[in-house]
């Protein structure tokens, strides 16, 4: 049986993978899983594993935000026709 730290760490790992693949369907499913886990009132002792994944997810999200903003600027500058090529 997984401890709550392992459950959270596994969800964060899956979130990083889904975000990297831009898998919206999987991200929505993971969001539901995280909400259920949060409602279960999990408690834990050693959270270093979770914190490591949290830091990685934070980094991935920051990089994704920057990249998506750059793509949006490019799209605005070049117009919609540039994406059709």
Domain extents in the chain? 4-78
Q: Is 8 exposed, middle or buried (0-12, 13-18, 19+ CB in 10 A)?
A: buried
Rounded Cα gap, residues 68 and 65, in angstroms: 5
* CA-to-CA dists, residue 56 to 14, 34, 38, angstroms: 12, 17, 20
| 4, 49 contact by CB (below 8 A) | no
Which tokens is 16 given? Answer: 């990083």
pLDDT in tens, 8-34: 888 889 988 988 888 889 988 998 888
13: Cβ–Cβ under 8 A, 6 or more apart, which residues?
53
Q: Is residue 84 pLDDT above 70, yes or no?
A: no
Q: What is the pLDDT of residue 45?
A: 58
């Amino acid at each position: 049986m997984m401890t709550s730290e392992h459950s959270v760490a596994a969800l964060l790992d899956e979130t990083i993978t889904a975000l990297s693949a831009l898998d919206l369907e999987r991200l929505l499913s993971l969001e539901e899983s995280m909400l259920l886990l949060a409602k279960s009132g999990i408690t834990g002792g050693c959270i270093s594993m979770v914190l490591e994944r949290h830091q990685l997810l934070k980094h991935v999200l920051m990089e994704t935000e920057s990249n998506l903003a750059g793509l949006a600027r490019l799209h605005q500058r070049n117009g919609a026709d540039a994406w059709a090529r």
